[in-house]
Amino acid sequence: MTMTNEEKGVQRAATKLADPYRTRPGDTLSSIARRSGASMADLQRWNGLRDANKIQVGQVLYLSELSAFGVSVAFLDALRHPIANLTYKLEVDGHRVMGKTSADGQVPTQITQSARSQVDVWVQDAQRQWQKLASTASGYGHKLITLVSGAIVVPTTLQEVSADAAKAPLKPRETTATASNQAKPPVKPTGAPSKNNPTVTAKQVKGPQGLPTIVIGVDLPKGLIDHFDCFEGGDITEEDWTDVAAELKCEVEVLKAIAKVESGGRSAFWRLMDGQGGHVPAILYERHYFSRLSARAHDKDHPDISWPVGYRTSKRLGKEDKKMHDGKVDDDDIYASYATSYLRLINAYRLDPDAALKSCSWGKFQIMGANHELCDEPSLKKFVNKMCTSNAAQIKLLAGFIRNKPRAWKDPKNKKLGKEISLWDAVKTKNWRAMAFNYNGPAYETYHYHTKLENAYEQYKKAREAKKA
């Protein structure tokens, strides 16, 4: 059955204890029943208690049907945006509940008859076919079923599929309430709807091994699409490398070493939608930049994309860290792939477009958007457009960045140490430590940038000499 807001309010008013409730010394089931307004019979049923006289200190008890057998369902895309207006169907205890998801991607909370009740979640695809996404037992404790994916991919029933076609059913994430962990909607790092808020789209495509699928996804913000449409293609020629090296009075191999360390030396473009969409440049999103550039306006609600402290390496995943918003390093606190960086950029873009673009390092040479003026490009928009155009366009921005980047204090807290030599001087003299310091900041040794640069340079140098021989 579906509980109305009025019924929920009455139930909350009658409950004098936290629900769920963790038992304390001296508690008995009868005293808990008296204080909560529930009967002992109900408490036994809601908690699966056979003997009313056997409860233990610290045991979690559910004091209402809602906390015991409540089930909530939320639909989110990979960007953690709620998917609104999605036609759904729930099958619970022999009856069906149908409708469209709300603006927050949720369906009305359901209360099952018992912990053994089965809950099936269905959605309707673009061809109006019902597809089951999840099936789970209610269990004890309010359960939140969160369906999250890069898109919700629903196998269709409209075409024959070979027996060996790869089927990857969506795996729901289930959260059950405890005394310290109340079931509640997931935190959405995207914030309130804005002019760039995505609309639900549904289209038929070919999935893995030809599996026909319906992809229910979201549109990219219009502003980002305009940047991505600038792609023309074109790699850096040997003549381009030579011309820029001559302009900077350095060796070609030094510039190639920077490219290799920053982007693996590969073409710094990849394609959206598993190779079927537009070309986009490689980026790395930095949340501490976004936090500073947006005056920390979004730190509280969106710590995954806005926080004074940058991302950690994957090696620190799960470890305690007082500088993280919740005291430990979660998945949202580590550096990840280019794809993850784009998800973070898109989320941040919807909050503050300019700050988001400035908070990414772009392209083959991973130059921060905040440094666009150092690249001889006063316009942030034009800077990003050039980054989205080609590798060849990016090397021209690199030349300006190297030439114009000012000297920085070796230690801002101890200016007696003086300033490091400029990036341009470091490039000309092959001072790898100074180069890494200027390019990646004072923590460069943590990631061994200086040795990576030197090793890459030596490899290119040997290759060039071997070619001459």
DSSP for 183-217, written as a single string: --PPP-TT-S--TT----EEEEEE-GGG-EEEEEE
**What SS3 class is residue 39?**
coil
- pLDDT for 277: 58
**Would you say the C-alpha torsion 233, 237, 241, 247 has a positive or negative sign?**
negative
- pLDDT for 145: 81
- pLDDT for 180: 42
Identity of residue 171: K
Identity of residue 25: P
The pair phi, psi for residue 34, each rounded to 5°, is -60, -45
Question: What would you measure as the largest C-alpha separation in the chain, in angstroms?
Answer: 93
Low-confidence ranges of the chain (pLDDT < 50): 5-15, 149-174, 177-218, 274
**What SS3 class is residue 148?**
strand
Q: What is the pLDDT of residues 131-171, one digit of tens each?
A: 887 788 888 888 888 776 444 433 333 232 233 322 333 44
Residues 6+ apart with CB under 8 A from 216: 83, 86, 123, 125, 126, 151, 152, 153, 154, 200, 201, 202
Model-level pTM?
0.59
The residues spanned by each domain of the chain are: 1-47+59-150+164-192, 224-468
Alpha-carbon separation of residue 118 from 64, 91, 289, 359, 411 (angstroms): 19, 8, 46, 46, 61
For residues 36, 41, 45, 48, the Cα torsion angle rounded to the nearest 10 degrees is 90
- Measured CA to CA, the distance from residue 125 to residue 121 in angstroms comes to 13
- pLDDT for 144: 80
Beta-strand (E) ranges in 10-69? 21-22, 60-61
Task: Give the chain's length.
Answer: 469
The neighbour count for residue 163, using CB atoms within 10 Å, is 4
- pLDDT for 237: 95
**Would you say the C-alpha torsion 206, 212, 217, 219 has a positive or negative sign?**
positive
- Measured CA to CA, the distance from residue 66 to residue 11 in angstroms comes to 9
- Measured CA to CA, the distance from residue 107 to residue 232 in angstroms comes to 44
The neighbour count for residue 322, using CB atoms within 10 Å, is 7
350 DSSP 8-state letter: H
Superfamily grouping for domain 1-47+59-150+164-192:
Carboxypeptidase-like, regulatory domain (2.60.40.1120)
* Token pair for 144: 């939140």
- pLDDT for 171: 43
Alpha-carbon separation of residue 230 from 8, 360, 364, 371, 384 (angstroms): 53, 18, 16, 20, 9
The pair phi, psi for residue 252, each rounded to 5°, is -55, -40
